[in-house]
Amino acid sequence: MEQLSGLLRQLNQQLGQDFPSEAGFRRIRLTVRHRLTAMLLEWLAAQTVFPQFYWRHREGQQEAAVCGSAKPFSHPSQAQAFVNTYPKARLWGLNAFDGDALLLLPRLEIFSRKGKGELILNLFSEHSLRQDAEAARAWLENLVVARPIADLRVKVRSVKHQPERSGWEIMLRDALKAIDRQQMDKVVLARSSLLTLDSPLFAPALMAASRRVNHQCYHFMMRIDASSAFLGSSPERLYLREGHHLLTEALAGTTANHANEHQAGRLAQWLLQDVKNQQENLLVVDDICQRLQGGASAVDVLPPEIVRLRKVQHLRRRIEGRLNHCDDADCLQRLQPTAAVAGLPRQAARDFISQHEPFQRRWYAGSAGYLSAERAEFCVTLRSCQIDGEQIQLYAGAGIVAGSDPTEEWQEIENKAAGLRTLLQPE
C-alpha cells in the first residue's frame, strides 16, 4: 500500500499551490503507467469518510474506488449539465428505477483501466476554490491505509418475502390477465426478501464475497454511511458509450445453471430454442431499437448468445449503434428502465408494477456506473440488495409474458436471489 500512500502525499502537496478565491472546478490528476498494486475494495472499506462508491467491470479491466462528495446530483440531467460545463469531470453513482439519481463528483477517485491507474482529486466551489482546496487538504488527513476485509460471519435469523408465494401467484395471474386483454405484452415482476441477521452486516465483506464467486458480473457498491449501503453483482450492461459509439444489450430469457458441464450445455441449448424465452428476449430487442430511433443511427443487432452465471444462464443479444449526440442523460432516459426490468409497453408495465408490487424498487433495477464527456458506462442494478445494519432487502425479478407459469417464475427468482443469498445462508 506504500504506492498509494505516496500518491496521496503527492496530491496533498499539490494542494499547496495558490488557488483563486473564486468559483470554479479544478481536477488534480496523477497517472500511474502500470497496474496499481493497491487493493481498491480493501482500501475503500477501511475509510471512514462517506459517501463511498465501488465499481468493477464484469470483464475485470476496470475498477474504481471513489469517496467523498465535491458535488452531488439528484437527477441525470443535472449531472449532464455539469459535464457539459466541465468536460474533464467524471461522475459516479446510481440512477433509480423511477428516474432519481445519486451521482457524485467525488472528492477522490482512484481508477484503474486496462492495467493503468490514476488518482484524481476534485475541487469544486460556487464561491472559492481556495477554500475548497483547504477543505480537501483537511479531508485527506482522514484517509487511512487499507486492511484485509474479514470474512462474513453473520447468521440469518429470519426471512420474509414481499410478496409471499401466494401473493406472488395472485400478482402473476393478474399480470397474465392484463396481457391476455392486450393491455401489455410483458411485465417484469419482482420480489423483495427481508433478511434479518444476528448482527450488523459490513457491506464491503458481502461485496468481497460476491466478487469472489459471481463471475462475469459488474460489481457495484454505494455506501451512504457505515451501516447503510446498496450493492450487487449484475450480469447486465445498460450501455457503454465511447464518443458517439453506443453498445447496449438485451439480457432476457433465463434457465438454471448446473455444475455438470453436460447438463449445463443441455439447458443452454434449450434456452436458445425455447419459444417463450426467445419471445421475451426479442421483445426487449425491439423495444431498445425503437427507443434509439431519433437518437442513434446504424443500429445493429448481433446474434443470440448464452451468458452462464453461477446459478442461472441468460439469453443475450448485443446491440450497437452511432449516437447523434453524446448525451448520457438522453441515453439514460431512452434506455432505462429497459423492457428486461420493466416490461412493454414501458408505461403500462410501470403502472402495473406500481399498483401491484408491495414495495418500492428505489435503486433496484436502476443503474450504476459513471459518465464523462468522452466515455460512460452503466450496468443494470440487478442481483442487488439494500443493507441497513442487521437487515437486508434482497431483490429479484422475472419477466412475465403470455404462457408464463407461476411455479416456474417463482423458481426463477429463487435462483436469481441465490447469487447473494447463499453467501449469507449457505445451501
The CATH number that applies at residue 309 is 3.60.120.10
The CATH number that applies at residue 120 is 3.60.90
In degrees to the nearest 10, what's the CA dihedral of 249, 252, 256, 257?
-10
Same domain, 189 and 131: no
Same domain, 248 and 374: yes
Of 140, 166, 189, the residue at which a domain comes to its end is 140
| DSSP H/E element including 330 | helix 328-335
Does residue 350 sit within a domain? yes
Does residue 29 sit within a domain? yes
Centre a 10 Å sphere on the Cβ of residue 121 and count the other Cβ atoms it contains: 26
Does residue 96 sit within a domain? no
Same domain, 265 and 361: yes
Same domain, 161 and 135: no
Q: Which residues are catalytic?
A: 186, 236
Given this model, what pLDDT does residue 247 score? Answer: 98
Does residue 376 sit within a domain? yes
User: Which pTM value belongs to this model?
Assistant: 0.95
| DSSP H/E element including 411 | helix 406-424
Given this model, what pLDDT does residue 187 score? Answer: 95
Same domain, 130 and 163: no
Q: CA 91 to CA 108: how far, in whole Å? A: 11
Same domain, 128 and 217: no
| Radius of gyration for the alpha carbons in the chain, expressed in angstroms and rounded | 22
Does residue 148 sit within a domain? no
Q: Is 169 annotated as contributing to ligand binding?
A: no
In this structure, are residues 201 and 209 in contact, taking their beta carbons and an 8 Å threshold?
no
Does residue 87 sit within a domain? no
Given this model, what pLDDT does residue 34 score? Answer: 74
Given this model, what pLDDT does residue 2 score? Answer: 61
Question: Based on the structure, what is the number of domains in the chain?
Answer: 2
Same domain, 289 and 416: yes
Same domain, 239 and 136: no
Same domain, 131 and 230: no
Centre a 10 Å sphere on the Cβ of residue 142 and count the other Cβ atoms it contains: 11
Does residue 151 sit within a domain? no
Q: Which domain holds residue 116?
A: 2-70+106-140
Q: Is 164 annotated as contributing to ligand binding?
A: no
Same domain, 134 and 190: no
Residues 6+ apart with CB under 8 A from 76: 95, 99, 101, 103, 328, 329, 332, 333
Same domain, 127 and 207: no
Does residue 338 sit within a domain? yes
Same domain, 127 and 26: yes
Residues of the chain with pLDDT under 50: 1
